[in-house]
Amino acid sequence: MLNKIYTHRRELLLACGLLLCFVFVRFYETTLFYDPFLAYFKSDFNKMDLPEFDVFRLIFNLLFRYGLNMIISLGLIYVIFKDKMMVQFSFFLYLIAFLVLIISFFLVIRFYGSDNNFLLFYIRRFLIQPLFVLLFIPGFYFQKRNS
């Protein structure tokens, strides 16, 4: 076991570094990104109206945060599997997911407003957190192991 760790020490350090990047994105979220929904969802949002926001600035910052998480996730997938096809496939899945999620996010805001806060909360959660990598890594591992 220790021999495997020593032989893959570079990959282990890279993976830990990438995981630390996720921590930094989360830790500096208030200074790096414009997101009026951060404070909104930390409060008792079920009894409040949606906060005022600048649509284009919010879209840009959601794209920026999603992009950072996507790049870190793709790096982690490459470090773990060393397969460029998996990284390319993941990239296209991330792009499709972003389009579906950002459209859904603004449709929920437009048509439901503060009436459906939990749906808005969870759509936003997928936009700002690296949840897809938690799905992709076990799925790719299972796929690689069975093929």
Residue 116: domain span:
2-146
The model's pTM: 0.91
Measured CA to CA, the distance from residue 141 to residue 34 in angstroms comes to 35
- Per-residue pLDDT, 56: 94
Name the residue among 50, 23, 28 with its Cα closest to residue 39: 50
**Residue range 22-39, pLDDT digits in tens:** 999 999 999 999 988 888
In degrees rounded to 5, what are phi and psi of residue 63?
-65, -45
- Per-residue pLDDT, 147: 81
- Per-residue pLDDT, 46: 73
3-state secondary structure of 40: helix
Task: Tell whether the model's pLDDT for residue 52 goes beyond 80.
Answer: yes
**Residue range 108-145, pLDDT digits in tens:** 998 987 788 889 989 999 999 999 999 999 999 999 89
Number of domains in the chain: 1
